[in-house]
A and B are shown apart, each in its own frame.
Chain A
């Protein structure tokens, strides 16, 4: 914008700081299809052997496809629950004269600011007690619940931007508040619902601690736990294999991010990670 200043020193300086990050991600992809001699940083041959986990099950691990399916079910179910509940609760908090409205909102804010992993000890014992330990249902319910305050908060923010005139007009025409919400307001916030959905899906796809603690078994294992277990196994150390599994795991994330970048930015601005 202000062309009175030269920009190349800036680009150069920031470029230097950014190099480690670029290196890490470039080598992530390069190492999955090449071999590098020990002590060297330049690969010397192409190979497909690091992708062998796609056609053979690694010893002691579930099939990669079972893990992928589990991850998909986990992320999708979490997303649906979060969308359904936060689009209704967000509307109630934003627009309806609910008793204790301020109290609800304060509660949501406190919970949202509170990444809740501190509660995992109690949740672990609760799930053991009610028999949902080591099941996908248990970990889905917990993940959805932990995403909810954020979802409600975001949806409330988007409902707040819908002009009151739309609702006034609907009510003037004799529609009930429920109909107004469904027919008039919801279509207005559809982009927000989409963005929240994508965000929740990616959050579910990336989640590690909850499945690790609440559903570690092979048959309900998700990709993050699968990959972490692979890395933690000191007897079979194979960095290129880890990276290949990692790329397999991250590709859906990258694709979704490239497609929905604009939508996601509106939410990452209010991010949830440290």
Chain B
């Protein structure tokens, strides 16, 4: 109604423009947020890993597959039959014999008398060859000839199911329906659907430890530094003259603005065997050691310090701003009433900081829960997994482990737990901080 045109037109114009302006953001968010979330859920239900690849797989009779066939499907006889080496006089073998320089007479006799025959052992084949009129002279020649007919499907890759079953049939092995299914399940090298990741997660003792580590990490850092020390910093600097207060705030911002790789390097320099701490403490009678990785307790102290020094600055900024907005008259009034400094903090400052403290606690609990960068750089979860938190466990499992086989599926399952917890917590926090007031309808359209 502010324009000459009717209301409806103004509304829809703004609507289309709005959608156009939102479109690029929407595309990015769908591609790099929604798709990964959905795919994380999908991958979590697979056994994808470096070994299975991410696209597809083939069928291959391997030793471990045969062991599984015997142990999990009770088909030991079939497994033995598949793994057995056979000697078959087939056209391919006869061609090979020609190429190896066997006499024409021998080749034609082989073709005539033994073609298509299959022997369970090399000795039987060699006995049959020895019975031929044009048999090769000498054991050496006989051995090299019989080797040409050795047939086995062990470790051969078959791209499709048909090829694979064709080759199995070629060995003279007949399969019933359950055997076919068991064979497919055990010999397929690609990824398959499974819920094993989750049952594994709940049964591994490692999971419980990682879970407890995460709790320690989040709460210790949050309480001691992100809110606790941040409060101390903001209150103490509040009572200082401007200049020293500014200097302290700037120093405590350094960890936040420093790139993580460099910041953690500084801590390593402090804690290294020949680092600063050792240099100071050795003359005092302590042994030189890596103070960060020496034992789990030390590792935890350093992890909390490293993360806490970064985390404290955000609380410091927000609390300082909140303290600044407290009317000065309140401070004067409390002083006139004879309040000492502690009483002033307790009864004037802290009550005004209730919401900022709640906000920082909520916000940073989420950040800490999903952050692992500093731990990865500092201890890599060590020593011996003592500082491995949930997010780091997901990262190490899926993207960087010593064993070399990256387990995408299991890592995704671990990450999915964080996704779910993160979404639940942030929805709860949105409710707490009164989301509705943030989306009041635009007055221009009213």
Taking a contact as CB atoms under 8 Å apart, the answer to whether B391 and A88 are in contact is: no
Residues A145 and B258 in contact, CB atoms below 8 Å apart: no
Determine whether B289 belongs to the interface, using a CB cutoff of 8 Å to chain A.
no
Q: B280 interface residue, CB < 8 Å from A?
A: yes
Pair A20/B260 contact, Cβ less than 8 Å: no
Bound CA span A40–B279, Å: 6
What chain A residues lie within 8 Å of B254 (beta carbons)? 21, 25
Stretch at the interface among B16-24, B123-131, B182-190, B203-211: B16-24
| A121→B363 contact, CB < 8 A | no
**In the complex where A129-B54, A145-B32 touch, is A118 in contact with B19 (Cβ < 8 A)?**
no
A269 to B319, CA, bound (A): 10
B444, A23: Cβ atoms closer than 8 Å = no
Check B15 against A99 for contact (C-beta < 8 Å). yes
| Cβ–Cβ contact A88 & B321, under 8 A | no
Residues on B with beta carbons closer than 8 Å to the beta carbon of A99: 15, 19
Asked if A123 contacts B377 (CB within 8 A), the reply is: no
Q: How far is the CB of A231 from chain B (nearest CB, A)?
A: 6
Residues of A near B93 (CB, < 8 A) are none
Q: Across the interface, name the chain A residue whose C-beta is closest to B321.
A: A269
Name the prevailing secondary structure of the B interface residues: helix
Chain B residues near A228 (CB-CB < 8 A):
261, 377
| Min distance, Cβ B273 to any Cβ of chain A, angstroms | 10
- Tell me whether A110 and B430 are in contact (CB under 8 A): yes
| Residues 179 to 212 of chain A near chain B (Cβ within 8 Å) | 202, 205-206, 208-209
Residue contact A273 to B261, C-beta cutoff 8 Å: no
Q: Are B412 and A121 in contact, with the CB atoms below 8 A?
A: yes
Residues of B within 8 A of A164 (CB): 443-444
Does B214 lie at the interface of the complex (its beta carbon under 8 Å from any beta carbon of A)? no
A148:B335 contact, CB within 8 angstroms: no
Tell me which of B331, B411, B444 has the highest count of chain A C-beta atoms within 10 A of its own C-beta: B444
> Which secondary structure dominates where chain A touches chain B?
helix
Q: Is the CB of A250 within 8 A of B419?
A: no
What is the minimal beta-carbon distance from B325 to any residue of chain A, in angstroms?
Answer: 13
The number of inter-chain residue pairs (CB within 8 angstroms) is 304
B381 at the interface (CB under 8 A from A): no
Chain A residue numbers with a CB within 8 Å of B239 are 2, 5, 7, 10
B215-257 residues with Cβ-Cβ distance < 8 A to A are: 221, 226, 233, 236-241, 244, 248, 251-257
Residues from chain B with Cβ under 8 Å of A28 in the complex? 262, 266
A-chain residues with CB within 8 Å of residue B372 when the two chains form the complex: 117
Let me know if B15 and A106 touch, CB within 8 A.
no
Say whether A231 contacts B265, CB under 8 Å.
yes
Given A114-B422, A118-B419, A119-B415: A20 touches B22 (CB 8 Å cut-off): no
- Which residues does A use to contact B, with CB under 8 Å? 1-2, 4-5, 7, 10-11, 13-14, 18, 20-25, 27-28, 31, 38-41, 84-86, 88-89, 91-99, 101-102, 104-107, 109-111, 113-126, 128-129, 141-142, 144-146, 148-149, 152, 164, 167-168, 171-172, 174, 176-178, 202, 205-206, 208-209, 213, 224, 227-228, 231, 239, 242-243, 246, 249-250, 253-254, 257, 265, 268-269, 271-274
- Please name 28 pairs of A and B residues whose Cβ atoms are closer than 8 Å in the assembled complex, sorted by A: A1-B331, A2-B332, A10-B240, A18-B251, A18-B252, A39-B282, A41-B279, A88-B25, A89-B25, A92-B22, A94-B442, A95-B444, A96-B18, A104-B22, A105-B438, A113-B426, A129-B55, A145-B31, A145-B33, A146-B32, A148-B25, A167-B444, A224-B261, A227-B265, A228-B377, A231-B261, A243-B269, A271-B256
Closest 4 A-B residue pairs measured CB to CB? Answer: A145-B32, A96-B18, A98-B18, A89-B25
B contact set with A: CB distance below 8 Å: 2-4, 11, 13-15, 17-19, 21-22, 24-26, 28-29, 31-33, 35-37, 39-40, 43, 48, 54-55, 221, 226, 233, 236-241, 244, 248, 251-262, 265-270, 272, 274-276, 279-280, 282, 307, 309-311, 313-314, 317-318, 321, 328, 331-332, 335, 341, 344, 363-364, 366-368, 370-374, 376-377, 391, 394-395, 398-400, 408, 411-412, 415, 418-419, 422-423, 425-427, 429-430, 435, 438-439, 441-445
